[in-house]
Amino acid sequence: MSDVAIVGVGCTGFKSVTPDVSYKEMMFEAATRAYQDAGNISPRKDIDAFISVAEDYWEGISIFDEFVPDQLGAVMGHLFTICGDSIIGLSTAYMLIKTGYFDVVALESHGKPSDLLTLYDVVSFAMDPVLNRPLGGHPFYVGGMEMNRFLCETGNTKEQCAMVVAKNKGNALPNPYAAYGADIEVEDVLCSNPYFYPLNRLDISQPADGGIVLVLASSEVAHKLNDNPIWVRGVGWICETPSLETRCWSEAIYARMAAQMAYKKAGINTPSREVDFAEVDDMFSYKELQHMEALRLCGKGQAGKLTEEGVTRIDGDLPINPSGGMLGMGWPLEASGMQRLLEVVLQLRGEAGSRQLPDVEVGVAQSWRGVPTTTGAVAVLSNC
């Protein structure tokens, strides 16, 4: 079976609000840039299949994929819709190419949460309708409960979580795609308004609008489209228990199991030594620490200490979220995983600008679908 590479990327950038463009215009802009980056390919002639990662609830439209083909150039083409995070969409594109029936696949994901007047009410619809939703309240209380348990069992601290926020918002400052870059101190995070104990306001990623398109190709055509293809070495995904009553509250089992699948495919045995950097989900500040441990980038209870020692900074031995993560770039709904993939691709290409990491060859992108799910995905990428 053919190897699979990412040969084109396109991004609109992320903003807190985008009243000047529709989601269709965002998708068209990202697609146009991705197709140009992939050697000026024609979507109607050169792309064999298209994937849109979207959820009807976010869009407010039933069967949303009816509104996708025009702006991607996918009219009369093969179009697949994934209702999940966009790294699961990458896994689908990867498998389509692996079948041998498709050589080039375009993957699209976007988020426009500013169009949702009751964003967190929509999130609440994902809660169990019998046992959990009737309790009412903001759904992010789930994050506060999990953070409390995670810190209690691992020994990581609230102060170390605040260091994650300060680091990621600082990383986002030179990132032209980021919406929430800022120069803040740990004390600013600790003194921000309490929201869902022990989460404070600055511990929580804020919504952002934006779109990303990736073009993937088989090894037979990848080098014809791009001189610097980025290879997808392994993918993994898992949907663990959806129940709040039966899940593990202290660790991200979904991330651990998805990583095991991706690492096995990529031939990685010791991630802490073989992975040069990682882009992980940081929807909440503690999630970066929890996901580092689940990905075996460090041992249990060590993520906070590594953060405190500066190991995870851009100039550290194991940079985590050099893009700024979602704390710095914003939360774009199902496009969150694509944010992580975008940064890994740019870093491996050597195109990350002033935040470029030196001599990186292997990067990991990891996503979590968010409250209240335990759904996650992992992709291992390399430039050789």
H-helix segments, 240-335 = 253-266, 271-274, 285-294, 303-308, 325-329
Answering whether pTM is above 0.85, one says: yes
Q: What are the DSSP calls for 145-199, one per residue? A: HHHHHHHHHH---HHHHHHHHHHHHHHHTT-TT-S------HHHHHTSPEEETTE
Q: Please tell us whether the domain made up of 4-117+208-230 is placed in CATH 3.40.47.10.
A: yes
Please state the CATH superfamily assignment of the domain spanning residues 135-205+231-382 in this structure: Thiolase/Chalcone synthase (3.40.47.10)
Which pLDDT tens digits describe the chain residue by residue (384 residues)? 789 999 999 999 999 999 999 999 999 999 999 999 999 999 999 999 999 999 998 998 899 989 999 999 999 999 999 999 999 999 999 999 999 999 999 999 999 999 999 999 999 999 999 999 999 999 999 999 999 999 999 999 999 999 999 999 999 999 999 999 999 999 999 999 999 999 999 999 999 999 999 999 999 999 999 999 999 999 999 999 889 999 999 999 999 999 999 999 999 999 999 999 999 999 999 999 999 999 999 999 999 999 999 999 999 999 999 999 999 999 999 999 999 999 999 999 999 999 999 999 999 999 999 999 999 999 999 999
What are the residues whose beta carbons fall under 8 Å from the beta carbon of 15, sequence distance 6 or more?
179, 208, 209, 210, 330
**Residue with the two structure tokens 């994050």:** 143
> Domain residues of the chain, as ranges?
4-117+208-230, 135-205+231-382
Count of all residues that appear for the chain in the document: 384
Which helix H or strand E contains 109, and what residues bound it?
strand 104-111
What are the residues whose beta carbons fall under 8 Å from the beta carbon of 117, sequence distance 6 or more?
none
Q: Which neighbouring-strand residues pair with 4?
A: 218
Measured CA to CA, the distance from residue 365 to residue 321 in angstroms comes to 9
CB atoms within 10 A of CB 99: 9
Is 135-205+231-382 the same fold as 4-117+208-230? yes
Measured CA to CA, the distance from residue 71 to residue 68 in angstroms comes to 6
